[in-house]
């Protein structure tokens, strides 16, 4: 407790109430409006100074003050010992190392050295002499700051027309060592954003605990102070590498001063030296960036010994998490909803999901090979990626039972079965399937007609189909009625029904279509 917090008059009253009136510390606190801990500290100091009650009438306030609050003893330089603040600053970057731990180690070597509070004050004062970006104390392996440089680089797109494009410059900086990675990409879109992160991890040969991006659309769908909406593909990549994403707060430059300094160093030390060149390809630009990047990382610090590279190898690299055994395969996520036909659309192709999920909110994860569909974080469907536009990929297990009964049938199979019964049967089946927007819509009617052969025989069915074609009755009920009434055994009408489709009609695809 500091002497300035309480008057000598109150100190005398505390001692009187405690020793003469036998009051508790809480009662003393209420009486003279101080905290009970202050009253306890004052009494303990009096006992340590061997003061007795009542106090001597000759004891002045100044003498009482010195007795209770003696001035600190001056510590000479030899007793204090030399403190290597550069070493202290570097050690603070290691995990679980604090100023109190370092002070305890210092006191073990110098028992009569300075106290903890003075130790902290001197360190903070020394740290103010460093550059702003070096003052920040990030634990080794904890944070990786990522962003794009504001400056772009010219790259030839078309050698025939001479068209020039502007390459984007990705920058990643580790928090503890300021070790930096940079590369050029054509865009800042999601595929390039993810690929640059993966390349950075491989450059560092490890992963940090946390990635701190700016609120770039590729990484953060919607910025928010407390719950920013992370892009699901970005989150998927982070989950694969076991890292967390904590975006910088909007309008808070201190959150990203590391990467801003990294960007500034890349622009000044690398891009400025390449400013007069136009590169023939993105590969050539990246090949030119790498030696200048190595030079930046190996350049010595101005105010502390070492470099980004030496600090990285000594402190940060051992703290990084190991990389997975295989590289992350880029995959996109999309919010989808199954229509009435229990299929979802991915790049103009339709994939089935269990029919009970019709109109449910689903998420699709898809790469170049596989399409996976999730409901409430559980995978409910998986398909081989198909690039056929407006085609359907269907798992029969996803169908309702009524649909599963017909899943094994195809237009070709139905046409082949009908042909075995006769030309008229085959022609009627073709007409029915061709008259529908999709052949599958006529499957049930065709299968019903073909199964009539079990009850009436194939020869009668052929005659019934011939009569149905003659009179223009292209449906199951008409064929069944002809057989029930035995009309198939009567001569055909002399004049065909006006609704009969001629063999050359545009809706009849012909037997060759189904073969």
CA distances from 62 to 11, 52, 68, 70 (A): 12, 17, 10, 11
What lies within 8 Å, CB to CB, of 297 at 6+ separation is: 179, 180, 307, 308, 309, 312
Give the architecture (CATH level 2) of 143-319.
2-Layer Sandwich (3.30)
| DSSP E strands, 218-281 | 220-222, 229-230, 244-245
Portion of the chain with pLDDT greater than 90, in percent: 21
* Domain spans in the chain, listed from the N-terminal domain onward: 3-68, 82-129, 143-319, 332-403, 411-514
Task: Count Cβ neighbours within 10 Å for each residue of 427-460 and write b for 16 or more, e otherwise.
Answer: bbbbbbbbbeeebbebbebbbebbebbeebeeeb
Listed range (246-250, 293-297, 457-461) with the worst mean pLDDT = 246-250
DSSP string, 304-348: SSSBHHHHIIIIIGGGSBPPPSSPPPP-EEEEEEB-TTSEEEETT
Listed range (125-139, 348-362, 421-435) with the worst mean pLDDT = 125-139
Name the residue with higher pLDDT: 33 or 90: 33
Q: Of 453, 454, 455, whose CA–CA distance to 465 is shortest? A: 453
Respond yes or no on whether the N-terminal peptide bond of residue 350 is cis (omega within 30° of 0).
no
Polymer length in residues for the chain: 515
User: pLDDT tens-digit profile of 397-448?
Assistant: 887 776 555 556 677 888 888 888 899 999 998 898 888 766 666 777 888 8
Strands 163-174 and 143-148: antiparallel
Q: Are 424 and 469 in contact (CB under 8 A)?
A: yes
* Average pLDDT for the chain: 80
Q: In the chain, count of helices (H) and strands (E)? A: 22, 15
CA distance 315 to 317: 6
Strands 180-185 and 210-213: unpaired
* pTM, two decimal places: 0.54
What are the φ and ψ backbone dihedral angles of 70, each rounded to 5 degrees?
-65, 145
């Amino acid at each position: 407790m500091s002497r300035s917090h309480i008057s000598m008059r109150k100190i005398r009253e505390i001692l009187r109430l405690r020793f003469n009136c036998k009051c508790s510390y809480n009662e003393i606190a209420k009486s003279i409006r101080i905290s009970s801990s202050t009253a306890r500290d004052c009494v303990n100091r009096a006992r340590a100074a061997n003061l007795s009650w009542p106090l001597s009438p000759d004891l002045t306030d100044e003498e009482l003050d010195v007795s209770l609050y003696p001035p600190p003893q001056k510590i000479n330089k030899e007793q204090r010992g030399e403190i290597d603040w550069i070493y202290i600053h570097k050690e603070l970057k290691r995990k679980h190392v604090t100023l109190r731990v370092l002070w305890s180690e210092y006191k073990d070597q110098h028992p009569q050295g300075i106290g903890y509070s003075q130790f902290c004050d001197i360190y903070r004062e020394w740290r103010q002499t460093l550059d702003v970006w070096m003052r920040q104390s990030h634990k080794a392996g904890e944070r990786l700051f990522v962003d794009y440089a504001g400056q772009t680089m010219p790259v030839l797109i078309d050698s025939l027309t001479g068209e020039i494009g502007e390459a984007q410059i990705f920058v990643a900086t580790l928090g503890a060592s300021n070790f930096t990675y940079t590369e050029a990409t054509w865009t800042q879109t999601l595929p390039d954003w993810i690929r640059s992160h993966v390349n950075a991890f491989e450059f560092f040969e490890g992963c940090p605990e946390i990635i701190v991006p700016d609120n770039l659309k590729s990484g953060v769908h919607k910025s928010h102070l407390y719950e920013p909406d992370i892009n699901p593909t970005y989150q998927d990549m982070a989950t694969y590498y076991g890292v967390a994403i904590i975006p910088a707060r909007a309008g808070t430059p201190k959150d990203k001063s590391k990467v801003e300094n990294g960007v500034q160093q890349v622009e000044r030390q690398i891009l400025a030296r390449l400013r007069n060149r136009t590169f023939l390809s993105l590969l050539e630009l990246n090949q030119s960036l790498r030696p200048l990047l190595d030079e930046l990382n190996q350049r010595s610090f101005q105010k502390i010994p070492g470099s980004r590279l030496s600090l990285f190898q000594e402190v940060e690299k051992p703290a990084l998490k190991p990389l997975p055994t295989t590289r992350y395969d880029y995959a996109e996520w999309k919010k989808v909803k199954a229509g009435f036909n229990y299929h979802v659309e991915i790049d103009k192709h339709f994939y089935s999901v269990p029919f009970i999920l019709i109109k449910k909110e689903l998420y699709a994860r898809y790469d170049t090979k596989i399409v996976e569909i999730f409901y409430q974080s559980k995978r409910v469907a998986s398909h081989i990626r198909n690039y056929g536009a407006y085609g359907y990929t269907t798992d029969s297990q996803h169908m309702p039972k009524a649909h599963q009964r017909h899943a094994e049938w195809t237009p070709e199979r139905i046409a082949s079965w009908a042909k075995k019964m006769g030309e008229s049967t085959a022609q009627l089946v073709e007409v029915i399937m061709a008259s529908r927007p999709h052949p599958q819509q006529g499957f049930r009617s065709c299968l019903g007609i073909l199964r009539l052969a079990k009850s009436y025989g194939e020869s009668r069915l052929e005659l019934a189909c011939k009569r149905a074609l003659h009179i223009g009755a292209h449906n199951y009920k008409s064929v069944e009625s002809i057989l029930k009434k035995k009309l198939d055994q009567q001569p055909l009408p002399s004049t065909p029904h006006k609704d009969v489709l001629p063999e050359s009609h545009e809706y009849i695809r012909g037997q060759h279509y189904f073969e």
